[in-house]
Chain A
Amino acid sequence: MSHDFEKIIRAADQKERKRLFISGQPDPIAMTSVLKARERGWVEPIACGSTFTGMASEMKVLCPTSGIREAREEALGLAQTEESGLLLDTGPLDAGFFSLVADKKTGHNHEHTLSYVSILIAPKDGRLTLLTDTLINNQPGLEEKIVITENAIGMAKALGIQRPKIAALSALELVNPALPSTLDAAILSKMSERGQFGDAIIEGPLAMDNAESASAAKHKGINSPVPGDVDIYLFPDLDSANLTAQFLAWVGLCPLGGVLVGAKVSLVVRSMLEPPESWPVNLALGLLL
């Protein structure tokens, strides 16, 4: 378990125990993490599907004969009937998984947009930083960006950040009609000014240098409390978000956690961005959400 995420782990310790329904493929590291989470008093795990039969003898297995899709449906349905149900899926996070959780017909995710929030401990100052959407929405329009932002604000508040500061990123800090992402960022920024995101401050468009450094922003004449004090980086598209997160993890060796946000129930997964060691922190994030 990464020491860096200690704060998140400790916050999860304070939460009430929840029933955790598990679906997906067999994953020994995930199951070890689940058993540890049970020891810590976080969850009461219940596995669904034949893949788990005999894997964890000390764990209850429901629908022991069904395949991965049926088991996932079962687990999702059960998690939803709980007051504050929790689902953990060990993957693969393929089209089958996403079609199930986003299926409007089954009502699993009615009128919601799913998005992914990556959690990073900034190497420079150890600050807990959220990046979104690093996994799901390919080229989000303004409507999706509004939901992606709300989803991330929800996660930030669950992490104890009372008034999240959000940098709506683009390639530059000037509004430029040739670059639609600067328009989206400017609109989100104006919406936040009018209180449309509640207790949160969005500044944008910002380039990464003036988002990250108060003095760089000042140098460019940006007067805002956000630069240099960012809790959430809102990326303009999936390429920029996912590839930047990969560089941070692979080249920068920053530990990443991650959480799927916007579903009716808390969904604990591990995306390709996180190493297997991130299962405990991902579980804690799902518990806090």
Chain B
Amino acid sequence: MYRNFEEIMVKAKEIGPRKVAVLFPDDPDVMRAARDGVKEGLIEPVLVGNRLRIEAVANEINLPLKDIQIFDQEDPQEAANLCLDMVKTGKVAFVVKGNILTTYLYRALIQATKQLAPDQVPCTLCFHEAPDIDKIFAITDPGVNILPDLALKEMILVKAVNILHGLGCGRPKVMVLAAYHGNESNPSSVRDAVALKQLAGEGRLGKCEVLTAQNLYQAFPDRNVQTEDLPDIFLVPNIETGNILVKSIDHIVLGNRQGMTFGTAVLSTPSRSDGYETRMTNLAFGLVLAASGSGEMV
């Protein structure tokens, strides 16, 4: 398993450059990441969006467009669908979300996944590095599935375990998260955790270990978290928990976060508020994950 984002970047530079679709790059931070992604040998961008706006922003950051392919498509849904088509036909390795609502990309991905791999569910994984933790860990699903039931949780975990394998984590430790409190426990999340542990035992999630502990308190009662014992995958019970948790890790804990969405394609899905550094690392994650086959059918 990669220990930090730096190692991902090193690996990405070995893999690149690859053709990558940048959806709605009409934002200076997005365009700068595309420009510097070229400079660093990571990507050959294919820009999708309104040509005039793309040209205006490119001009603003001094990016000459003469060698860069542009698909002039103003409609956000059409543009997102076009990007997915390009992944499907192998024209690009993955898609980077620019200045656009994630919903359009999700819709295109859900559609494509339904057609090509109906047994799969698109889901988001956030990869994190945190101070004093010497490995990357993932939290899923903070982006697509609102309140997954057991069947959806199984599909999410199959995908997540497979992705972690692709990143060199041979037998990821999985924690099925549920709150701990003295008052009453939430029976459904406890029940799902037991069922998922059973499924893992039957080998239905791929090679992994589902932990009995459902939160950090149960796993580390002495509050001393060792890197090797920290789960590699945290499965959250609902989208609110996932989304608040992943953003707390970079905004409050002062760690870092990379959001990627998987289905039949790899989508780099940063928050629109993410800055330049995050977007550069995003390109690296996209390359490494696409090269490891994470966007392919499991």
Contact = CB atoms under 8 A, between A and B. Distances in A.
Given A210-B273, A212-B247, A240-B244, A135 B223 contact: no
Contact of A239 (B223, B230, B237, B248): B237
B254 A252 contact: yes
A43 to B, nearest CB: 24
Interface residues of A, number: 54
B42 interface: no
Given A209-B271, A240-B240, A254-B252, A135 B142 contact: no
A247 B253 contact: yes
A219 B245 contact: no
Nearest to A135: B181
Interface string A164-190: 000001111000001101000000000
Contacts of A209: 247, 251, 271, 273
B236 A251 contact: no
Contacts of B248: 208, 244, 247-248
B244 A95 contact: no
Contacts of A213: 251, 273
Contacts of B230: 251
Given A208-B251, A210-B273, A272-B217, A251 B130 contact: yes
B243 A171 contact: yes
A171 B244 contact: yes
A279 to B, nearest CB: 15
Q: Which of A120, A217, A243, A272 neighbours the largest number of chain B CB atoms within 10 Å of its CB?
A: A243
A67 interface: no
B297 interface: no
Interface in A236-280: 236-244, 246-254, 271-273, 275
A134 to B, nearest CB: 9
Contacts of A123: 252-254
Contact of B252 (A122, A207, A215, A272): A122
B177 interface: yes
B11 to A, nearest CB: 25
B273 A172 contact: no
A138 B252 contact: no
B240 A236 contact: yes
Nearest to B250: A209
Contacts of B177: 239, 243
Given A181-B240, A240-B241, A94 B182 contact: yes
A237 B189 CA distance: 14
A87 to B, nearest CB: 16
A273 B221 CA distance: 10
A198 interface: no
B243 A239 contact: no
A100 interface: no
Given A98-B182, A212-B251, A237-B240, A250 B225 contact: yes
A216 interface: yes
Given A123-B254, A179-B146, A239-B189, A250 B220 contact: yes
A92 B146 CA distance: 34
A5 interface: no
A21 interface: no
A220 B272 contact: yes
A237 B241 contact: yes
B247 to A, nearest CB: 3
A255 B17 CA distance: 44
Contacts of A135: 181-183
A212 B240 CA distance: 16
A93 interface: yes
B240 A246 contact: no
Given A124-B252, A169-B240, 11 more contacts: A123-B254, A124-B254, A171-B240, A209-B251, A238-B179, A238-B186, A243-B179, A243-B245, A252-B130, A252-B252, A271-B181
Interface of B: 130-133, 142, 146, 177-184, 186, 189, 215-217, 220, 223, 225, 230, 236-245, 247-249, 251-255, 271-273
Closest 5 pairs (CB-CB, A-B): A216-B273, A252-B253, A208-B247, A242-B179, A171-B243
13 contacts: A98-B183, A179-B146, A210-B273, A213-B251, A235-B240, A238-B179, A240-B241, A242-B179, A242-B181, A244-B244, A246-B216, A253-B131, A253-B132
